[in-house]
Amino acid sequence: MKLRTGTAKVATIRVGRGWHVVRAGLRTVRFRVLATVLGFLAAGLLAAGITTLTLDLGNLNNRVNEDLLLQSGRLHDIVEQGVPGGGPYTSLDELFTVFLQGDAPGRYESVMATVIGGNTFLPAAGQPGTLNASQVLDAARAAHVGGRTVFHDVTLDGRTVRLAITSVSLERGAPGGLLVAANEIGRQREQMMASFGTFGVASLGTLLLAGAVGFTVTGRLFVPVRRLRQATESITFEDLSSRVLVPPGDDDVSQLATDFNRMLDRLEAGIADQRQFVDDASHELRTPLTIIGGHLQLLQAEDPRDVRETQALLLEELDRMQSLVDELLLLARSGRPDFVRLEWVDADSFLVAAMDRIKVLADRRWQIDTMPGGRFRADRNRLTQAVEQLAANAVQSTRWHDVISLGAAWVAAPDGTVPPAPSALSGAGFEIWVADSGCGISAADQERIFDRFARAGVSRGTEGSGLGLPIVKAIAEAHSGSLRVISQVNEGSTFVLSLPGGTP
C-alpha cells in the first residue's frame, strides 16, 4: 500500500510539472505572437469566406430571378409576333405549343405551361431537370396571382425549387393559363455551401501550414531572446562575462541583442571600476592607517612636545589620505557620461589662464611655446585640471633653472590639411603639451607611468600618489582623446594631450 501511494504521488507531481511547463509555454512571447497572427489570419479568412458566400448567394438569387423572367419575356415576344402565318394567337394551346418548341431550359431549369381546366404542355426537347411536372403545376396553381408574374419557393421531394408563375390570358372571358418556369435553386445553394466547406478545409490547411512555418520562423527569430533570458539568469555580480550571440541582420531583435551586450559591457566596466577603487583604496590607505595607528600607540600623552609632533604627523597623513581618496573617486567617476561637459574653448585664452595658475607651483622658468588661435570643444575645468597635474609632474622632475613650457597646436585632419588659425576645420585635431628640461623618463618607465600607483625611477621632487598621470589619461579619454609622452633621460619630457577637433 505504501508503494502504491508513493507511485501515485510521483505521477501527480509529474502531471503537475507537465501542466506547469505547458502553462509556461503558453505565456511565452513566441506563443503569443504566433497565436495573435494566426488568430487575425483565421478571422480574416472566415470573414472573407462568409462575405464571399453571402455575395454569391445574393448573386445567385438575382441570376435565378433574371433567368426565370426570361421565359415570360420570351412568351410575351411570341404573342407580339403573332402566329407564323399572320394574325394573333386565339388559342392558348397553340401559343404554348409554339412557345415550348423553342430553346430548351438550362441545367437546373424546367418550363411547363397549363391551361386552366385544360391541357398541360412540356418542352418538345424534354426537361433537363428531374422535377415532377404535376407537383410543380399543383404548387403553381395554388400560388399564382392573376395578371402578373410571382416568385414562389417550394420544397419538392426534399429539394428547394423557385417558381416563376405567370398568368396568361389572350381574350377577356376566354380560359386562362399558367406559364411556370422552375429553377432548382436549392441544388445550386448546396454546391455553394460545399464550395464554402472546401474553402474552410483549405483555410484550415493554410492555418496549419502558416502555424508550422510561423513556429519555425519565430523560433529562429526569438533565439536571441531565449539566449538573452539565459544570459540574464546566468549573470551574477561576480561574473558579467556572458554575452548574447548577435544574429545577422539589422532587425529589432538583433539590435536588442547588441544593446544588451553593450549594457553588459557598461555594467562590467562600472563594476570593474568599483573593484579597482576598492582594491586601490585598500592598498594605498593601509600604509597611512598603519602609520597613524602606530603613532597613536606610541604617543606619550604627558609629553606636550610628543603630542604636538604626533598631531602634526597625523594631520599630514590625514591630508594625504584625503587627497588620495579624492583622486581615487575622480578616477572612479571618469567613466560616467557626465564626467565632462563640453563647450567651445578659446585656445589662446585657455593657455594664458592655465599659465597663470601653474606658474606659482614652483620657481621655474615658465613659458608659453605657441598660441595657435581658434576654438576647440572641451571641458575647461577638467582640461585645466589635467594641465595642472602635468605641470606638477614637471616640477617634480626639474630644478629651479629648468624650463617648463606650455603650448598647443592644430594637427592635420585625416585628409592631410592643417586648419589655419583662428578657425578649426572638421576632422582636425588639437594638441596641448607640457614640456620640461628636467631629468627625463627612462624607456622602461615610459611603459608603465600611466598605470595606477606607478612611479618613474628618476625624480627630483617628492613622490606623489602615483595617480596623477592616470587621472590625466582618464580626462583625455573622456574627451575621446589620448595622452602620450616623449622623453629622454637627462634631456626632459613632453606630455602631449591630444583632443579631437571640430567646427567652432
pLDDT tens track for 19-65:
554 555 556 777 888 889 899 999 999 999 999 999 999 999 999 99
The per-residue pLDDT for 431 is 93
From residue 129, how far is each of 106, 123, 294, 326, 378 by CA, in Å? 9, 12, 122, 105, 97
Greatest mean pLDDT among 80-89, 299-308, 380-389 lies in 380-389
Mean of pLDDT values over 106-116? 84
pLDDT band at 428 (very low <50, low <70, confident <90, very high): low
Among 414-418, 435-439, 498-502, the minimum mean pLDDT is found in: 414-418
pLDDT tens per residue, range 167-208: 888 776 667 888 888 888 888 889 999 999 999 999 999 999
- In terms of pTM, does the model score above 0.85? no
The whole-number pLDDT of residue 366 equals: 93
Q: Helix (H, G, I), strand (E, B), or coil: what is residue 198?
A: helix
Pick the more confident residue, 425 or 291: 291
Banded pLDDT at 423 (limits 50, 70, 90): very low
Give the chain's count of helices (H) and strands (E).
12, 12
- SS in 3 state form for 413-440? CCCCCCCCCCCCCCCCEEEEEEEECCCC
Q: Are strands 177-183 and 159-168 parallel, antiparallel or unpaired?
A: antiparallel
**83-97, 303-317, 396-410, 413-427, range with the lowest pLDDT:** 413-427
Q: State residue 390's pLDDT score.
A: 92
SS3 at position 149 = strand
For the segment 216-254, what is each residue's pLDDT rounded down to a tens digit?
A: 888 877 777 777 777 777 777 667 777 777 767 677 777
User: Does residue 70 sit in helix, strand or coil?
Assistant: helix
Out of 217-226, 326-335, 418-427, least confident range:
418-427
